[in-house]
Amino acid sequence: MTGTACTFALSCPAHAAARSLPLGQAVAALPQAAESRDGYERAKFPHWNAGANPDDDCDTRAEVLIAEAIDPPATGPGCTLRGGTWSSYYDARQVASAAAMDVDHLVPLPEAWDSGASQWTAARREAFANDLGDPRSLVAVSAAAHRSKADQDPAQWLPPNTKATCRYLVEWTAVKLRWGLTADTEERESLTRLAEACPDTTVTYTPAP
Protein backbone atom coordinates (compact mmCIF):
# COMPACT_ATOMS: atom_id res chain seq x y z
CA MET A 1 0.00 0.00 0.00
CA THR A 2 2.95 2.34 -0.31
CA GLY A 3 2.81 2.95 -4.06
CA THR A 4 0.40 4.87 -6.22
CA ALA A 5 -0.71 1.98 -8.40
CA CYS A 6 -4.49 1.90 -8.56
CA THR A 7 -6.06 -1.13 -6.93
CA PHE A 8 -9.64 -0.27 -7.78
CA ALA A 9 -11.19 -0.49 -11.22
CA LEU A 10 -11.85 2.75 -13.07
CA SER A 11 -10.26 4.82 -10.30
CA CYS A 12 -7.24 6.34 -12.07
CA PRO A 13 -7.56 9.03 -14.75
CA ALA A 14 -5.43 8.09 -17.76
CA HIS A 15 -4.01 11.58 -18.15
CA ALA A 16 -2.57 11.90 -14.63
CA ALA A 17 1.22 11.95 -14.42
CA ALA A 18 2.97 10.65 -11.31
CA ARG A 19 5.55 12.88 -9.63
CA SER A 20 8.38 11.79 -7.33
CA LEU A 21 10.41 13.75 -4.78
CA PRO A 22 12.69 12.81 -1.88
CA LEU A 23 10.67 12.97 1.32
CA GLY A 24 12.36 16.13 2.59
CA GLN A 25 11.76 17.95 -0.69
CA ALA A 26 8.17 16.71 -0.78
CA VAL A 27 7.54 18.15 2.68
CA ALA A 28 9.12 21.43 1.56
CA ALA A 29 6.74 21.44 -1.42
CA LEU A 30 3.70 21.59 0.86
CA PRO A 31 2.39 25.16 0.82
CA GLN A 32 2.52 26.66 4.29
CA ALA A 33 -0.60 28.36 5.59
CA ALA A 34 -2.49 28.89 8.83
CA GLU A 35 -5.39 26.55 9.48
CA SER A 36 -8.99 27.44 10.23
CA ARG A 37 -11.79 25.12 11.38
CA ASP A 38 -14.44 27.80 10.81
CA GLY A 39 -17.56 26.37 9.17
CA TYR A 40 -16.48 22.74 9.28
CA GLU A 41 -19.19 20.09 9.28
CA ARG A 42 -18.56 16.42 8.58
CA ALA A 43 -21.62 16.39 6.33
CA LYS A 44 -19.77 18.71 3.92
CA PHE A 45 -17.68 15.67 2.90
CA PRO A 46 -20.33 13.21 1.65
CA HIS A 47 -19.23 9.66 2.37
CA TRP A 48 -19.42 6.81 1.93
CA ASN A 49 -20.65 6.82 -1.68
CA ALA A 50 -21.22 3.94 -4.11
CA GLY A 51 -17.50 3.44 -4.63
CA ALA A 52 -15.71 2.29 -7.75
CA ASN A 53 -18.40 -0.20 -8.73
CA PRO A 54 -21.91 1.19 -8.16
CA ASP A 55 -23.42 -2.19 -9.08
CA ASP A 56 -21.77 -4.29 -6.34
CA ASP A 57 -23.89 -2.95 -3.44
CA CYS A 58 -20.64 -2.09 -1.63
CA ASP A 59 -19.90 1.48 -0.60
CA THR A 60 -16.41 2.96 -0.60
CA ARG A 61 -15.73 1.84 2.96
CA ALA A 62 -16.60 -1.77 2.19
CA GLU A 63 -14.57 -1.73 -1.01
CA VAL A 64 -11.50 -0.60 0.95
CA LEU A 65 -12.01 -3.34 3.54
CA ILE A 66 -12.33 -5.97 0.81
CA ALA A 67 -9.29 -4.69 -1.09
CA GLU A 68 -7.04 -4.50 1.98
CA ALA A 69 -7.99 -7.83 3.58
CA ILE A 70 -5.22 -10.38 4.02
CA ASP A 71 -7.85 -13.11 3.96
CA PRO A 72 -10.86 -11.80 2.02
CA PRO A 73 -14.19 -11.70 3.83
CA ALA A 74 -17.28 -13.35 2.44
CA THR A 75 -19.69 -10.82 0.97
CA GLY A 76 -23.38 -11.29 1.68
CA PRO A 77 -26.53 -9.43 0.59
CA GLY A 78 -26.18 -5.67 0.85
CA CYS A 79 -22.39 -6.12 0.99
CA THR A 80 -22.47 -7.57 4.50
CA LEU A 81 -18.93 -8.71 5.29
CA ARG A 82 -18.35 -11.95 7.17
CA GLY A 83 -14.99 -13.31 8.28
CA GLY A 84 -11.75 -11.99 6.84
CA THR A 85 -8.46 -10.89 8.36
CA TRP A 86 -6.77 -7.49 8.22
CA SER A 87 -3.38 -6.09 9.21
CA SER A 88 -3.64 -2.68 10.88
CA TYR A 89 -0.31 -1.04 10.16
CA TYR A 90 -0.81 1.86 12.58
CA ASP A 91 -0.58 -0.45 15.57
CA ALA A 92 0.81 -3.69 14.05
CA ARG A 93 -2.33 -5.64 14.93
CA GLN A 94 -4.04 -8.41 13.04
CA VAL A 95 -7.81 -8.13 13.24
CA ALA A 96 -10.25 -10.90 12.36
CA SER A 97 -13.49 -8.91 12.37
CA ALA A 98 -14.68 -6.27 9.93
CA ALA A 99 -16.64 -4.72 12.80
CA ALA A 100 -13.36 -4.04 14.63
CA MET A 101 -11.89 -2.23 11.64
CA ASP A 102 -12.32 1.38 10.57
CA VAL A 103 -11.47 2.96 7.25
CA ASP A 104 -9.37 5.99 8.08
CA HIS A 105 -9.09 9.09 5.95
CA LEU A 106 -5.30 9.26 6.18
CA VAL A 107 -5.61 13.05 6.13
CA PRO A 108 -8.68 13.45 8.37
CA LEU A 109 -11.65 15.35 7.02
CA PRO A 110 -11.34 18.21 9.56
CA GLU A 111 -7.62 18.53 8.74
CA ALA A 112 -8.42 18.65 5.03
CA TRP A 113 -10.99 21.38 5.68
CA ASP A 114 -8.45 23.37 7.67
CA SER A 115 -5.85 22.91 4.93
CA GLY A 116 -7.81 24.17 1.94
CA ALA A 117 -10.84 21.94 1.39
CA SER A 118 -13.08 24.65 2.84
CA GLN A 119 -12.64 26.40 -0.51
CA TRP A 120 -13.54 23.37 -2.61
CA THR A 121 -16.82 22.52 -4.27
CA ALA A 122 -19.03 19.92 -2.63
CA ALA A 123 -18.21 17.53 -5.49
CA ARG A 124 -14.47 17.82 -4.86
CA ARG A 125 -14.92 17.25 -1.14
CA GLU A 126 -16.93 14.12 -1.94
CA ALA A 127 -14.15 12.96 -4.28
CA PHE A 128 -11.58 13.46 -1.51
CA ALA A 129 -13.68 11.64 1.08
CA ASN A 130 -14.09 8.64 -1.24
CA ASP A 131 -10.70 8.69 -2.98
CA LEU A 132 -9.98 5.28 -4.48
CA GLY A 133 -7.49 6.72 -6.97
CA ASP A 134 -4.60 6.38 -4.53
CA PRO A 135 -4.72 3.47 -2.06
CA ARG A 136 -3.03 5.61 0.59
CA SER A 137 -5.92 8.06 0.88
CA LEU A 138 -8.14 5.56 2.69
CA VAL A 139 -6.60 2.90 4.90
CA ALA A 140 -8.16 0.04 6.86
CA VAL A 141 -6.92 0.16 10.45
CA SER A 142 -8.09 -1.05 13.83
CA ALA A 143 -10.92 0.97 15.31
CA ALA A 144 -8.77 1.60 18.39
CA ALA A 145 -5.93 3.13 16.38
CA HIS A 146 -8.31 5.22 14.31
CA ARG A 147 -10.00 6.67 17.36
CA SER A 148 -6.65 7.37 19.00
CA LYS A 149 -5.61 9.38 15.95
CA ALA A 150 -8.93 11.25 15.56
CA ASP A 151 -8.32 14.49 13.60
CA GLN A 152 -4.67 14.99 14.59
CA ASP A 153 -1.82 15.72 12.19
CA PRO A 154 1.72 14.26 12.52
CA ALA A 155 2.79 17.08 14.85
CA GLN A 156 0.27 15.67 17.35
CA TRP A 157 0.00 11.96 16.55
CA LEU A 158 2.05 9.22 14.95
CA PRO A 159 1.28 5.50 14.65
CA PRO A 160 2.11 3.65 17.87
CA ASN A 161 3.88 1.12 15.65
CA THR A 162 7.18 3.03 15.40
CA LYS A 163 8.30 0.85 12.47
CA ALA A 164 5.54 2.50 10.46
CA THR A 165 6.64 6.09 11.05
CA CYS A 166 8.39 6.65 7.72
CA ARG A 167 5.58 4.99 5.80
CA TYR A 168 3.05 7.22 7.54
CA LEU A 169 5.04 10.38 6.81
CA VAL A 170 5.31 9.44 3.14
CA GLU A 171 1.62 8.66 2.88
CA TRP A 172 0.53 11.82 4.71
CA THR A 173 2.73 13.99 2.51
CA ALA A 174 1.64 12.20 -0.66
CA VAL A 175 -2.06 12.64 0.08
CA LYS A 176 -1.63 16.33 0.88
CA LEU A 177 0.34 16.89 -2.32
CA ARG A 178 -2.14 14.86 -4.34
CA TRP A 179 -4.97 17.14 -3.23
CA GLY A 180 -3.05 20.43 -3.10
CA LEU A 181 -3.54 20.81 0.65
CA THR A 182 -1.46 23.10 2.84
CA ALA A 183 0.42 22.50 6.10
CA ASP A 184 0.60 24.84 9.05
CA THR A 185 3.92 25.84 10.63
CA GLU A 186 3.91 23.25 13.42
CA GLU A 187 2.94 20.45 11.05
CA ARG A 188 5.55 21.36 8.46
CA GLU A 189 8.31 21.69 11.05
CA SER A 190 7.41 18.32 12.56
CA LEU A 191 7.35 16.63 9.16
CA THR A 192 10.72 18.16 8.29
CA ARG A 193 12.29 16.97 11.55
CA LEU A 194 10.79 13.49 11.38
CA ALA A 195 11.81 13.06 7.72
CA GLU A 196 15.46 13.23 8.75
CA ALA A 197 15.09 9.73 10.21
CA CYS A 198 13.84 8.42 6.84
CA PRO A 199 16.85 8.72 4.49
CA ASP A 200 16.55 7.63 0.88
CA THR A 201 12.75 7.77 1.12
CA THR A 202 10.78 8.97 -1.89
CA VAL A 203 7.26 10.34 -2.14
CA THR A 204 5.49 9.47 -5.38
CA TYR A 205 2.03 10.91 -5.94
CA THR A 206 -0.43 11.61 -8.69
CA PRO A 207 -2.33 14.91 -8.55
CA ALA A 208 -6.05 14.39 -8.10
CA PRO A 209 -8.18 15.17 -11.17
CB of 130 closer than 8 Å to CB of 54: no
> With bands split at pLDDT 50, 70 and 90, how would you rate the model's confidence at 15?
low
Q: Name the average pLDDT for the chain.
A: 93
- This prediction has a pTM of 0.91
CA distance 42 to 185: 24
| Section 48-59 average pLDDT | 92
State percent of the chain over pLDDT 70: 92
What's the pLDDT score for residue 3? 39
Read off the pLDDT of residues 125-153 as tens digits, 9 standing for 90 and up: 999 999 999 999 999 999 999 999 999 99
How is residue 30 annotated by DSSP?
S
The whole-number average pLDDT for the span 60-78 is 96
- Residues 4-30 have a mean pLDDT of 71
Q: Is the dihedral of CA 116, 122, 123, 127 positive or negative?
A: positive
Q: Where are the domains of the chain?
A: 19-205
Query: Could you give the CA distance from residue 58 to residue 49 in angstroms, rounded to a whole number?
Result: 9
